Amino acid sequence: MSGALPETAAVYWRPRVDAGRLVRRGRTWTATTFAHTVPFIGTAGLLFALEPLSFPVDFALLAHAWAIPELYARRGANVVRPKPQSDDAPQRVAVGLLGDLVGHDARELHARTGLVPERGTLGVWLVGEAGAVLVVPGGRRVFCWCVKVPEPGLPAADRIAHLLLALRSDEQGFATVANLAFSGAPWRLRRRMHPRTRPALAEGVRLSKLSSPES
């Protein structure tokens, strides 16, 4: 690991992400989800108990309780949503370079899903062209990070290579620079992911279980 990622200077107010901070952030995210959900469920239950004919309102409240966490999960899935594929010469050149940076299994997963798996100290990363998913050790929680190269015209594989190199040089700095879009259980994310990218999540969870202290 070399020095801190220089991009962290642009977000100097953010505390540097480490494993402990990540755990706290995950718990806060879960608590926030409960806070968004439980009042709707409670109110629906209370209203129905007081007046069963209020069921249309109860139904609307329960729909809110269901929709809000789903919207968050969808926001998380969007960070690795596949973009229209291009097979022009720059993309082929970029895929060649990316292939030189990763091993055979990662190349194969990228070809199938558009995401590159990368083991780090915080967990297993799935790097896409405009974001990354971190599966923490044990595979019970994911963090979806929105992070990109703000440079127009780059081939998709080059965008992934940019993120991969930054991640490899300073993993904690990478997570500090990126914006957190979602945190929760992998199954919540999976439902909202594009079918093409779902196998990458399954592989990320599998790899994270292998590196878990519990395994």
Partner 1 sequence: MARLIRMDTTGHSTLAEWTAGDHEAIERAVAEFRRELDSGYYAMVTEGEGHARQVTELPLDAELVILRRPIAGG
> Which residues of this protein are in contact with partner 1, per CB under 8 A?
1-3, 5-7, 10-11, 79, 89-94, 96-97, 100-103, 118-120, 130-131, 145-151, 153-155, 157-158, 161-163, 165-166, 168-170, 174, 177-179
Nearer to partner 1, 58 or 118 (CB): 118
State in Å, rounded, how far the first CA of the chain is from the last one.
26
Measured on CA atoms in the order 191, 197, 203, 207, is the torsion positive or negative? negative
Asked if residues 16 and 173 have their Cβ atoms less than 8 Å apart, the reply is yes
Nearer to partner 1, 5 or 61 (CB): 5
Q: How many residues does the chain have?
A: 215
Minimum gap (Å) between residue 173 Cβ and partner 1: 10
Minimum gap (Å) between residue 54 Cβ and partner 1: 42
Nearer to partner 1, 5 or 205 (CB): 5
Structural tokens at position 180: 């957190």
Minimum gap (Å) between residue 51 Cβ and partner 1: 46
Minimum gap (Å) between residue 31 Cβ and partner 1: 23
Nearer to partner 1, 37 or 91 (CB): 91
Contacts of 152 (CB under 8 A, 6+ apart): none
Smallest CA-to-CA distance from 113 within 206, 208, 186, 200 is with: 200
d(CA 65, CA 71): 11
Minimum gap (Å) between residue 107 Cβ and partner 1: 11
